[in-house]
Amino acid sequence: MPDVKFIGVALFGFIDRFKTDEDCMGYLSSIKWAGGYKCKKCGNENYCKGRKPFSHRCTKCKYDESPTAHTMFDKCKFPLLIAFHIAFKISTKKKGMSTLELHKEFGLRQETCWTFKNKVQKAMKSSHRYPLTGEVHVDEFFIGGPESNKRGRGAEKKKLVVVAIEKVTGGIGRAYGQLIENASSKVLTSFFDPHIETSAMVITDQWNGYKPLKKNYPSIIHVPSKNGKNFPDMHIHIMNLKGWLRGIHHHCSKEHLQGYLDEFHFRHNRRNNMDTIFHKLIERMINSAK
Ligand SMILES: [Zn+2]
């Protein structure tokens, strides 16, 4: 099968490649069955042409599967071409697109945009396959509350987020963020485990919750935060994240915050590989719904 991957971030190239729903259907089909066909119902590996273009029909049980079935594009309320446009915009625009912007640009009901954007954010969730390595800085901060009083009184009403960033020459490498209930070592461990290699040299402030992590992360060190002065890159990252959240989402409920953290970091972690970011997202939207 020829490599069908769409490369690029230019809208012109995108429009040229995807003109109809059928173009998009063909794209989904090529990704979905790239590794070969296997019937979802009976496991048979032989198929013939189905009822609709690009559908696969099992030769044994006759199950007719469309490229959108069992993917995040299934039962989409608007044309597939628009879904592709939205996925393209959210993934390639530096700040993504709010549901209000989507509603205005595509003429869809805002609620419909919400539903679809939630799926996109779900697909942008970390796969946990590429934990951070090398020098990694970790810190927590609040969203929707005063900067100070990080772990003190009143903290329970605000949204607490823990972030890990990779320190690379000249700045920040990849990063992950997670909404957490509290900064206990148990909760912090549940964030560390899937997101940071145990061999990493982790640097945190002197909060007690980080101390027991030494067991799994022998190279971890704790330094005084000095109001964040000892973590300048972390400070920049958090400011960027907060600025983005404020900019397009005036109110972000606790329920939806993780989705936004995932969206922000999905783009952040691919900012040097933007040419393939749309393709990656489509792949995820096909595979993570299974
Ligand atoms: Zn079958």
CA of 38 to the centre of ligand 1 (A): 8
Does the pLDDT at position 240 exceed 90?
Answer: yes
Write down the pTM of the prediction: 0.93
- Taking 70 as the threshold, does the pLDDT of residue 81 lie above it? yes
Spacing, Cα 235 to ligand 1 middle (Å): 54
Average pLDDT over residues 97-126: 95
Summarize pLDDT for 131-140 with one digit per residue, the tens: 999 999 999 9
Between 176 and 289, name the one with better pLDDT: 176
For residue 1, what pLDDT band results from cuts at 50, 70 and 90? very low
Distance (Å) from CA 6 to ligand 1 centroid? 31
Work out the percent of the chain whose per-residue pLDDT is above 70. 93
**What's the pLDDT score for residue 230?**
87
pLDDT in tens, 151-182: 655 555 689 999 999 999 989 999 999 999 99
Task: Please give the structure tokens belonging to residue 7.
Answer: 């490369």
CA separation, residue 38 to residues 46, 49, 73, 114 (Å): 7, 14, 19, 32
In this predicted structure, the answer to whether residue 7 has a pLDDT above a threshold of 70 is yes
Mean pLDDT of the 242-253 span:
80
Sign of the torsion angle spanned by Cα atoms 14, 96, 287, 165 = positive
Q: Is residue 149's pLDDT more than 60? A: no
Q: What is the mean pLDDT of the chain?
A: 92
Span 251-277, mean pLDDT? Answer: 93
Measure 42 CA to ligand 1 centroid, in angstroms: 4
Interval between CA 279 and ligand 1 midpoint (Å): 29
Distance 39 CA to ligand 1 centre (A): 5
- Percent pLDDT > 90 in the chain is 85
pLDDT of residue 165: 98
Q: Does residue 199 surpass a pLDDT of 70?
A: yes
Q: Specify the pLDDT at position 254.
A: 85
Q: Which two tokens stand for residue 230?
A: 């000892």
CA–centroid distance, residue 290 to ligand 1 (Å):
17
For residue 2, the model assigns a pLDDT of: 52
Q: Does the pLDDT of residue 93 top 90, yes or no?
A: yes
Look at residue 151 in the predicted model and tell me its pLDDT: 61
Q: Which of 29-43, 150-164, 190-204 shows the lowest per-residue confidence on average (mean pLDDT)?
A: 150-164
Residue 158: predicted pLDDT: 84
Give residue 55 CA to ligand 1 midpoint distance, Å: 13
